[in-house]
Structure 1
Amino acid sequence: MRNIFFLCCFIIFSAAYSQNTMSVSSPNGDLTLKVLINDGTAFYSVAYKGGIVLEDSPLGLITNAGDFTTNMNFVSSTTAKVEETYHQTKIKQSKVNYNANTLNCVFSNAKQQKIAVLFQVSDNNIAFRYELPAWGDTKVCVVSEEKTGFKFPSSTTTFLSPMMRPMTGFARTAPSYESGYEADAPLSKTTSSEGYVFPGLFNLANKAWILLSETGVSSLYTASHLSGYKNGIYTVEYPNPKQNNGFGSSGAQISLPGVTPWRTITVGETLKPIVETTIPFDVVKPLYKPSQEYKMGRGSWSWIVWQDNSMNYEDQVKYIDLAAAMKFEYILIDAWWDDRIGYDKMKELIKYAKSKNVEVFLWYNSNGTVNDAFQTPLNKMNTAIARKNEMKWLKEAGVKGLKVDFFGGDKQETMKLYEDILSDANDYGLMIVFHGATLPRGWEKMYPNFVGSEAVVASEMLIFSQDVREKEAYFASLHPFIRNAVGSMEFGGVLLNKFLNKGNTKGQERLTTDAFQLATSVLFQNPVQMFGLTPNNLTDVPAFELDFLRKVPTTWDETVFIDGYPGKYSVVARRQEQKWYVAGVNAEKTAKVLKLKLPMLAGQTITMYNDKADKETYTTNLKVSKNGELSITIQPNGGVVITN
């Protein structure tokens, strides 16, 4: 339920301002945004607690109907307040109170065409978008370029992931948001010609942290990313025209009046506002109602460790039995099921799973025309007729969700494909996970049956790459501050085999501890989690670890930053009802001794899962001091989980 109030609305004409400057502050006064015109260009700047965190940064769009980057003038501005309370079960916090002050600035260009920029400023967040009216008889336009910029102080360091070059990688499916991060890189080193994916994290000489992203991308616009660092700024950049094999516009075709997606800026003196932000969801609305109540939960998944050879009836029965033994709600049956099991036998398999109280997700290839991905089912999700025919069968067979893979692009037509799949799936009562996909941008709230996206160097790369195995803890320490801070992240983790293959005796050795793996089940937030357990883990993994995974939730009522530094270590607390889970990982080469402040557990007896110096995982009971402090040690490549 939402309650929205717009208060204190009034209009101020720019003629009253000799310097052509407007400003708006957050409700608590810590965050201030200023807008000005300088030599015909609109700029904005941001101050936090009196210090400049974004210097004068340009605003503007270029469309085929008019240029809104030069010869700009103030026309008017409007201020207001927004107060909203909403509930959302699929993000890091189930109840959110959003309060913001708004500033809506109207500008005109040399042709006297108007454009507005709406800013919403809450205590640690800024969201803004462009609002385009109809210009006379002009009712449509194409936005070809955006000049929105972000100018940081020169001492800033960055935590960015490069945008992948289009039509590269496996079966020419890139970009799929699966590049790594470089931590604390100076601005001068971030000059990638392809730019950088959202979100991007910035450290302003340890005086402030800023997280940049975007939200509210639907079929009505293209997704965007950050440019490389050029001429002292980053700008919003639209997709490389070579995506989707060069087909389709890289700009956005919109009807008028129309709006762009929101650009978001989260600012904090510490990393706490970054980890806890809900701004990607605060400014978007649901686009349709759920056709039914969707059930979140955990699942088993044969492909991640046993790979393609497991796509047979007998192995899937073993994984259904694994899910049942672990009290998991789901099994994900991956690529090639249509060919190697078949539709008729799949109905039998679904019936068997239901007899064990396990529901089924099935994998699909999204592709039909844009890359060379060949795994089947193919040509089932890319057109409306094929998709609806397939979804009719899926509903009749009792399937509960789909994992749709291999999108590889951010153009508007691909955003439309995402939305069409989600909307049609809702009609048939199907949840959707996207893989080989873009960043979800507010989709948990916009689409009721959306339950996660990959958009990260995920667990499959632990199987395929020694480099990723060596960096597993490093990446895990980054995600709560960057990728997972703005959207659900379907990582597909918790791998308890010592070797990441079916034999589990040699080969791809796992370099992190069991406690690390348990910690990621909490540290990585996604409402439906497919875990990488294998049937042999029922007998070769300590019983207390399995008992933990039988109970760990996938949905949360509250998320709290505890401690950490991206690329080094991270500790996050999450609550479901009255039960807290505190999870941490250590990416450094030596043991990390931490004194945690856990006021939510003050005076309570807790259970801790941790590692000994020899990396053996153990569990013990401890009492937290009355002041809520608890000293712990996390081993290198290790983890810790604390529950009450």
Structure 2
Amino acid sequence: MAVPIRTAVAALCAGLAATLFITVPARADQDAGSHVQVWAVSGPERAAAAHEPRARVSLDDTTGTLSLSVSHGGRTVIEPSPVGIVTQQADLSQDLRFLHRKDRLVDERYRSKSGKRLERRVLMNETRLSFATAAGARLDLVVRASADGIAYRYVLPAGYGGVLGEASAFNLPPDASAWLSTYRADNEGQFAQHTAATAPTGEYSDQALFATGGGYTLLAESDLTGTYSGARLAHDQGTGTYRIKLADPTVHTDGPLATPWRAMVTGDLATVTRSTFTDDLAPASKVADTSWIRPGTVLWTWLAGGKEAGQSLAAQKAYVDYAAERHWPYEAVDAGWYFKTDEWDTTDPNWQTNSWMPELVEYARAKGVGIIVWIHQRDLDTPEERAQWLPTLERWGVKGVKIDFMDSEAQSMLQWYDTILQETAAHHLMVNFHGSTVPKGIQRTWPQVMTLEGVAGEEKRTNTAAHLTTLPFTRNIIGSMDFTPGAFQRVGLRPNSDAAEVGLTVAYESGLQMFAGTPESYDARPLARDYFDQVPAAWDDTRLLAGRPGREAVLARRSGDRWFLGGVYAGTAHTAEVPLTIGSGRWLVETIRDGAEGLVQDRQVLRGGDSLSVDVVDNGGFAGIACPWRPGVTTCSR
């Protein structure tokens, strides 16, 4: 049957419109007098385009090499940097020719169980640039741009064999200030300040912060799974170049491959600190029912009593009693509570344990306290061990596991992560990873992951005040961080004051905020203890009130109508002036600071936008709560 002309024309127009929406002309913009094709990618917020990051991808027609640069507000953030990947069957870092471009809008909403805020909005422009070599090998470069970052990844069809390495690198202005952590497999290096060029030759963790283009840029990674290998930054002193180096000499693939995102969180310091960019890039949650996942504060007993406490039911019951008295929702039992032996009867429900854990869990449950248990990764590294441990812990009623000593970002260990994430979700066990990788989007995809270590935390005896004031702008930006604050008993082993230690519980975000002190140390500091009674572990919003990496970090986090304040400082005693940018109206502000005889509480009524003045001691800090003020309101406590 003949098709009417008007119908055919309408169909043709619709088809052309759809094509124009997803495909741009095959030829990109070309710099005058050069052999370079250029594609620009910016975020979808057109009204604020001048203030958003913008990526520029270039192809040199002479060499067939790709580069990517990033600007923000018209100023260079990342200088043109090499892009490409090399596999066993094809070198996709050179001799490339452009095929086509497709664009799409990424517009998503999701709810997190923990982090800087619970409600999230993802709004990004995505551009997919397709290239091929003369031999027909294909490479897609996928670039995403949002209001707070630029990211790219490689997508390859099947048949190219293992990945031998990436050409990916980041070229920073040589004089850019840099806050870097020397790479360790457990990600527990100290952050120290350099310039991009003067940093010593070596390898650094990929969460590296640079002051560039009038703002800041944090390098990061997202959507890292066992299909690939973890990345670190390799640097040669004297240059501003930081190259991607993979943990494995060969990444094994058995089909099409999408590499992790190479992310650049960029903007002013407040934007970077508040960003959830690495979570936003990650796949959606794979856990359908998340009602059992409940963030909270935890009485953690390792630094309070060590292994001996872990071996004692009486000691653990006493800790449960204290947590119940304080209405802290969890108590964590660390190493020493179980042992392995081939003589155990694995049909016994108490196998692999010194038998008192089920009794402790029931004792705690009756008092409204959940139990979290430590377990070594080597005891979960086979299917048989996992099939014995995880159902048993679920049957006992254990709420979560603290899994320790992975100490690797090699592909084989990442494949183990993939498995344990599926199985802990199936057995309704929240997870705290120690001796681990860092979040890299894992908390969006697997929301039972409440926190990860991957930080030189409270256990370290070499931390500096500068390190503590850098963490909110580096490691903690990309996800929950189990620093374990509150270890008041470690006087002389930590570089900060008591008030700063209280402030860390807000300055540092963690879905399970583990308090590392002793009950005696809390009772000796009732202001700190009462503050811990109120501090949440999940937040409705987060704002940076004041900050300079390595010098000061003051964060405000909202729960309901109350803002909790945490400030940490490095340097000499002074009066800190903090803009109270938490909203209009009048606020009753209660602060805890260091006094001559211990902690002191102050109360004052301020308007939103006023300056909050707090006396800070050497390497000190403060904690606080701000609640809406009205006549008759005299305290923020509930």
Counterpart of 1:389 in structure 2: which amino acid?
Answer: Q
How many angstroms apart in 2 are the aligned matches of 1:130 and 1:585?
Answer: 40
Greater alpha carbon shift after TM alignment, 103-112 vs 588-597: 588-597
Counterpart of 1:272 in structure 2: which amino acid?
Answer: A
Structure 1 segment 217-256 matched on structure 2, within 5 A: 217-229=224-236, 232-239=240-247, 249-256=248-255
How many angstroms apart in 2 are the aligned matches of 1:69 and 1:493?
Answer: 45
How many angstroms apart in 1 are the aligned matches of 2:608 and 2:39?
Answer: 48
Match of 1:187 among 196, 203, 211: 196
Once the two structures are superposed, residues 306-333 of structure 1 have per-residue CA deviations (whole angstroms, 9 ceiling, x without a partner) of 2122221221122111211221111111
Aligned position for 2:327: 327
Match of 2:531 among 522, 542, 548: 548
Is the contact between residue 28 and residue 39 of structure 2 (CA under 8 Å) also seen in structure 1? no
- With over 3 angstroms needed to count, the CA separation of the structure-2 counterparts of 1:477 and 1:37, relative to structure 1, is same
Greater alpha carbon shift after TM alignment, 250-259 vs 339-348: 339-348
Is the contact between residue 175 and residue 197 of structure 2 (CA under 8 Å) also seen in structure 1? no
Counterpart of 1:150 in structure 2: which amino acid?
Answer: F
The TM-score normalised by the length of structure 1 is: 0.87
Match of 2:154 among 130, 142, 165: 130
Match of 1:275 among 273, 276, 289: 273
- With over 3 angstroms needed to count, the CA separation of the structure-2 counterparts of 1:588 and 1:16, relative to structure 1, is closer
Matched, 1:519 2:541: no
Aligned position for 2:209: 201
How many angstroms apart in 1 are the aligned matches of 2:560 and 2:395?
Answer: 35
- With over 3 angstroms needed to count, the CA separation of the structure-2 counterparts of 1:320 and 1:310, relative to structure 1, is same
Match of 1:638 among 607, 617, 620: 620
- Please state how far the C-alpha of 1:592 moved relative to its aligned partner: 4.3
Match of 1:530 among 511, 514, 520: 514
- Please state how far the C-alpha of 1:7 moved relative to its aligned partner: 11
Aligned position for 1:151: 171
Is the contact between residue 79 and residue 103 of structure 1 (CA under 8 Å) also seen in structure 2? yes
Match of 2:571 among 572, 588, 603: 588
Is the contact between residue 37 and residue 43 of structure 1 (CA under 8 Å) also seen in structure 2? yes
Once the two structures are superposed, residues 272-322 of structure 1 have per-residue CA deviations (whole angstroms, 9 ceiling, x without a partner) of 111011111112123522555211111112212321222212211221112
Counterpart of 1:200 in structure 2: which amino acid?
Answer: A
- Please state how far the C-alpha of 1:154 moved relative to its aligned partner: 2.2
- With over 3 angstroms needed to count, the CA separation of the structure-2 counterparts of 1:222 and 1:626, relative to structure 1, is closer
- With over 3 angstroms needed to count, the CA separation of the structure-2 counterparts of 1:437 and 1:54, relative to structure 1, is same
How many angstroms apart in 2 are the aligned matches of 1:590 and 1:607?
Answer: 20
How many angstroms apart in 1 are the aligned matches of 2:26 and 2:476?
Answer: 41
Greater alpha carbon shift after TM alignment, 17-26 vs 110-119: 17-26
How many angstroms apart in 2 are the aligned matches of 1:292 and 1:99?
Answer: 24
SS in structure 1 opposite 2:155?
A: strand
How many angstroms apart in 2 are the aligned matches of 1:81 and 1:72?
Answer: 26
Is the contact between residue 528 and residue 554 of structure 1 (CA under 8 Å) also seen in structure 2? yes
SS in structure 2 opposite 1:141?
A: coil
Structure 1 segment 335-354 matched on structure 2, within 5 A: 335-339=335-339, 342-354=353-365
SS in structure 1 opposite 2:501?
A: helix
Is the contact between residue 601 and residue 624 of structure 1 (CA under 8 Å) also seen in structure 2? no
- With over 3 angstroms needed to count, the CA separation of the structure-2 counterparts of 1:215 and 1:626, relative to structure 1, is closer
How many angstroms apart in 1 are the aligned matches of 2:500 and 2:397?
Answer: 35
The TM-score normalised by the length of structure 2 is: 0.87
- Please state how far the C-alpha of 1:147 moved relative to its aligned partner: 0.9
Aligned position for 1:300: 299
SS in structure 1 opposite 2:407?
A: coil
How many angstroms apart in 1 are the aligned matches of 2:437 and 2:445?
Answer: 16
- With over 3 angstroms needed to count, the CA separation of the structure-2 counterparts of 1:539 and 1:152, relative to structure 1, is closer
SS in structure 2 opposite 1:189?
A: coil
How many angstroms apart in 1 are the aligned matches of 2:564 and 2:123?
Answer: 28
How many angstroms apart in 1 are the aligned matches of 2:612 and 2:330?
Answer: 36
Counterpart of 1:21 in structure 2: which amino acid?
Answer: V
- Please state how far the C-alpha of 1:199 moved relative to its aligned partner: 0.6
Gaps of 5+ in 2: 1-17, 31-35, 341-351, 628-638
Aligned position for 2:42: 25
- With over 3 angstroms needed to count, the CA separation of the structure-2 counterparts of 1:120 and 1:292, relative to structure 1, is closer
Counterpart of 2:382 in structure 1: which amino acid?
Answer: T
How many angstroms apart in 1 are the aligned matches of 2:19 and 2:125?
Answer: 10
| RMSD after superposition | 2.1
- Please state how far the C-alpha of 1:66 moved relative to its aligned partner: 0.7
How many angstroms apart in 1 are the aligned matches of 2:154 and 2:474?
Answer: 25
Identity of aligned residues (%): 25
How many angstroms apart in 1 are the aligned matches of 2:434 and 2:604?
Answer: 40
- With over 3 angstroms needed to count, the CA separation of the structure-2 counterparts of 1:364 and 1:524, relative to structure 1, is same
Is the contact between residue 573 and residue 620 of structure 2 (CA under 8 Å) also seen in structure 1? no
Once the two structures are superposed, residues 257-277 of structure 1 have per-residue CA deviations (whole angstroms, 9 ceiling, x without a partner) of 220011111111x21111011
Aligned position for 2:72: 48
Tell me the matched-pair count.
Answer: 583
How many angstroms apart in 2 are the aligned matches of 1:535 and 1:232?
Answer: 48
Aligned position for 1:400: 399
- With over 3 angstroms needed to count, the CA separation of the structure-2 counterparts of 1:163 and 1:446, relative to structure 1, is same
Structure 1 segment 598-613 matched on structure 2, within 5 A: 598-600=581-583, 602-612=585-595
How many angstroms apart in 2 are the aligned matches of 1:615 and 1:571?
Answer: 24
Counterpart of 1:528 in structure 2: which amino acid?
Answer: L
Counterpart of 1:494 in structure 2: which amino acid?
Answer: G
Aligned position for 1:12: 24
- With over 3 angstroms needed to count, the CA separation of the structure-2 counterparts of 1:342 and 1:11, relative to structure 1, is closer
Counterpart of 1:346 in structure 2: which amino acid?
Answer: M
- With over 3 angstroms needed to count, the CA separation of the structure-2 counterparts of 1:256 and 1:339, relative to structure 1, is closer
Is the contact between residue 10 and residue 79 of structure 1 (CA under 8 Å) also seen in structure 2? yes
SS in structure 1 opposite 2:109?
A: strand
Match of 1:211 among 188, 195, 218: 218
Counterpart of 1:218 in structure 2: which amino acid?
Answer: T
Once the two structures are superposed, residues 174-207 of structure 1 have per-residue CA deviations (whole angstroms, 9 ceiling, x without a partner) of x211110112x022332433x1112100012x72
How many angstroms apart in 2 are the aligned matches of 1:301 and 1:25?
Answer: 45
How many angstroms apart in 1 are the aligned matches of 2:337 and 2:167?
Answer: 46
Is the contact between residue 523 and residue 529 of structure 2 (CA under 8 Å) also seen in structure 1? no
Gaps of 5+ in 1: 1-5, 165-174, 240-248, 368-379, 501-507
Counterpart of 1:535 in structure 2: which amino acid?
Answer: P
How many angstroms apart in 1 are the aligned matches of 2:522 and 2:263?
Answer: 44
Once the two structures are superposed, residues 421-466 of structure 1 have per-residue CA deviations (whole angstroms, 9 ceiling, x without a partner) of 12111111111110011111101111121111000001111xxx2x
- Please state how far the C-alpha of 1:539 moved relative to its aligned partner: 3.5
How many angstroms apart in 1 are the aligned matches of 2:478 and 2:236?
Answer: 22
Match of 2:86 among 46, 51, 62: 62
How many angstroms apart in 1 are the aligned matches of 2:356 and 2:578?
Answer: 55
Aligned position for 1:437: 436
- Please state how far the C-alpha of 1:389 moved relative to its aligned partner: 1.1
How many angstroms apart in 1 are the aligned matches of 2:522 and 2:223?
Answer: 42
Greater alpha carbon shift after TM alignment, 20-29 vs 451-460: 20-29
Is the contact between residue 584 and residue 609 of structure 2 (CA under 8 Å) also seen in structure 1? no
Once the two structures are superposed, residues 82-130 of structure 1 have per-residue CA deviations (whole angstroms, 9 ceiling, x without a partner) of 2222211211111122222222111112322111111111112112111
Match of 1:487 among 462, 471, 479: 479
- With over 3 angstroms needed to count, the CA separation of the structure-2 counterparts of 1:640 and 1:272, relative to structure 1, is same
- With over 3 angstroms needed to count, the CA separation of the structure-2 counterparts of 1:558 and 1:8, relative to structure 1, is farther
Is the contact between residue 615 and residue 635 of structure 1 (CA under 8 Å) also seen in structure 2? no
How many angstroms apart in 2 are the aligned matches of 1:76 and 1:565?
Answer: 43
Aligned position for 1:568: 551
How many angstroms apart in 1 are the aligned matches of 2:482 and 2:20?
Answer: 42
Is the contact between residue 554 and residue 567 of structure 2 (CA under 8 Å) also seen in structure 1? yes
